[in-house]
Structure 1
Amino acid sequence: MNKQVKNVLLLVLPLLLGCGLIYYQYQSLTPEALQNIKTSLLKADYFYVALSLLVATLGHWLRAYRWKYALNHLGYYPKTQNNFLTVCVSYLVNLTIPRSGEVTRAVLLKKYEDVPFDKAFGTIVAERIVDLALFFLFVIIGFALQFDTLYGFLQTKNIGLQSIVYLSIGFLALMVLFIFIWIYAEWPIIQKLKLKFSGLTEGLLSVYKMEKKWHYIGHSFLIWGCYLVMFYIPIFALKETHQIGFDVIIMGFIFGSLAIGFTNGGIGAYPFSIALIFGLYGIPNETATAFGWLVWTSQTLLTLFLGLLSYLLLPLLNRK
């Protein structure tokens, strides 16, 4: 497939999915429900929204600071401000093609701090692996707390425990097979990939080998703590959501995080997933929808603001 066509599809298909979900959600709401959502958003206490955005910005800064530990281990000492600005730009780019921001981040660090692209990108991949592990920790905690509710929902969809076990075993078997092939296979294509990604491997191993790995891991927990608090605070912005329990919040946080990767910046998918999960706990659809759109819109506006500002500041602060 032509590379240009592939890039267009990567941009357009998730966007179409997001727009489709917005249309579906809109069509499923009555005029009265739409008016209630509008009223809830107009009467929201935006002090809590601003506080949530402040926590989100702190999370971005912690991510930039954590990045220094991996880069320092490799012998590179970029300015924290440049790390922060490139992180903000990467989130902005992710609003176009999902996960394309990671490449942009490494490119910008190469441009402004002369860190080799493959090594910078390797440290970013390492971040994603650590972040994925922490996210799975949230998933385990959330599913353990809400097993009865979720299992009851799956049963209504004719998905039994046996099917879930088989799917899990199949996924684990594929993962083990992939790891075995990667380590032991002598196939030319595998050897070429290993050579190509040698710099990435160094970045991945940097977390394990770095002198301050516990600082790195500690910052990782702080980052995800910020993300969870960022999602929790807005419940106080709407009077209809004040009484939502933390157990519901953590499930909304999990599925909202997953939804972000399905469309451009989570457009459509994020509010839809929040409404779906909150609905399992008896929260009215219009209330859950209002909350989902409030969180997504405020975070997206923050991403746009910080990303554009950072893009302008990077060349200005690094003039030689």
Structure 2
Amino acid sequence: MKIILPLSLGVFLIWYSIQSATPQEREELINNILTANPLWILLSFSLGTLSHLSRAYRWKFLLEPLGYKPRFINSYMAVMAGYLANLGIPRSGEMLRAATLFSYEKVPFEKGFGTIISERIADLLVLLIIVLITLAIQTEVLLSHFEASNINPILSIGILLLLITAGVLVLQFIKRSTWKIAVKIKNMAKGLLEGMRSILKMKKKWAFIFHTIFIWVMYILMFYVIIFTIPEMANAGLGAIMAAFVVGSFAVSASNGGIGVYPVAIGAVLMVYGISKQGGEAFGWIVWATQTFLVLILGGLSFIFLPVLNQKK
């Protein structure tokens, strides 16, 4: 269900987007994609590569306090192999990444996975900061859109708070329970917490923070430069780009690698800022294709060369 349902959602959105467009709109969408300047796409490709290299290098700052110093090439290929796995089975890449490091560097799975959780926490904090900044500079636009669409933001926040409360109650139940499955979860959690605490034991905290910021700056830049491939997007304001980036960051996890969902979501949010549906979706498709192609190439090469470069192990 994790594979079929998200993929079906993506395919449905692609079909619906095409069917709901007029022949002229479809032609304009395809023309925008085919006439995109490949130099900007290549630049976006390069910026994305830098972000992945930085992520692999940042990982060592979390592993060193635990007593492990894996080879950089193995860390990098584990990261890219994980990204590739996420295209097939959403959210499986983190487990594969930790398993890969266990196979080739003998880092215990729980500890390796715990450091990955630490990374995700750091990334989530940065994303939340970006969301808050975007909301702050775009409050008037968003509230006008909510009002026009009869969306109650207070109700949405209330539902989110209820879900968080339910999650806390479940965790408290597991913590106090003596059931076998609860005990297994608690033992697993201990290993995860040890990995997560490594962020507090780092000797090079500032280096970790620098790479975290660098990764997200590269994400935004690889997203931003694609606007120059679509004539209509060249005049898009910073607020529109940041709003599209935030929406895309969440939409990419809604289906396998964001297929179908990502470009449709990007096109929808850009329409709020006066960008045509076909122009916004073309921009979304080019961004998505660039990121996906990058993962397919580097992730595929990583799967091939991991066993080749570690033959002795």
TM range (shorter): over 0.9
Unpaired segments ≥5 residues, structure 2: none
1:72 and 2:64 aligned: yes
Work out the CA distance in 2 between the residues paired with 1:192 and 1:41.
50
1:236 and 2:216 aligned: no
> In the alignment, what sits opposite 2:258?
266
Q: 1:254 aligns with which of 229, 246, 250?
A: 246
1:318 and 2:310 aligned: yes
Residues 157-190 of structure 1, C-alpha deviations (whole Å, 9 max, x = no match): 32335424533543454455456556xx522145
Preserved contact between residue 232 and residue 275 of structure 2 (Cα < 8 Å): no
Distance 1:155 1:296, change over 3 A: same
C-alpha displacement at 1:193, in angstroms? Answer: 2.0
Preserved contact between residue 89 and residue 256 of structure 2 (Cα < 8 Å): yes
1:188 and 2:188 aligned: no
Residues 113-151 of structure 1, C-alpha deviations (whole Å, 9 max, x = no match): 111111111111111111111111111111111112112
Q: 2:23 aligns with which of 31, 34, 39?
A: 31
| Paired letter, 1:198 | K
Pairing 1:169-318 to 2, within 5 Å after superposition: 169-174=161-166, 177=169, 185-189=175-179, 190-318=182-310
Residue-pair matches, total: 310
Distance 1:196 1:176, change over 3 A: closer
Worse-matched range after superposition: 88-97 or 193-202: 193-202
> In the alignment, what sits opposite 2:120?
128
Distance 1:294 1:313, change over 3 A: same
Q: CA RMSD in A?
A: 1.6
Preserved contact between residue 256 and residue 270 of structure 1 (Cα < 8 Å): yes
Distance 1:103 1:161, change over 3 A: closer
Distance 1:169 1:318, change over 3 A: closer
Residues 208-262 of structure 1, C-alpha deviations (whole Å, 9 max, x = no match): 2222222212211111111111100111122221111111111111111101111
> In the alignment, what sits opposite 2:97?
105
Work out the CA distance in 2 between the residues paired with 1:164 and 1:30.
34
Residues 255-280 of structure 1, C-alpha deviations (whole Å, 9 max, x = no match): 11101111000000000100010011
Distance 1:308 1:168, change over 3 A: closer
Work out the CA distance in 2 between the residues paired with 1:70 and 1:311.
24
| Paired letter, 1:247 | G
Q: 1:163 aligns with which of 155, 159, 164?
A: 155
Preserved contact between residue 69 and residue 212 of structure 1 (Cα < 8 Å): yes
C-alpha displacement at 1:23, in angstroms? Answer: 0.7
* TM-score, normalised via structure 2 length: 0.94
Work out the CA distance in 2 between the residues paired with 1:162 and 1:247.
23
Distance 1:172 1:308, change over 3 A: closer
Unpaired segments ≥5 residues, structure 1: 1-8
1:44 and 2:36 aligned: yes
Preserved contact between residue 255 and residue 274 of structure 1 (Cα < 8 Å): yes
1:96 and 2:96 aligned: no
| Secondary structure at the counterpart of residue 94 of structure 1 | helix
| Paired letter, 1:223 | I
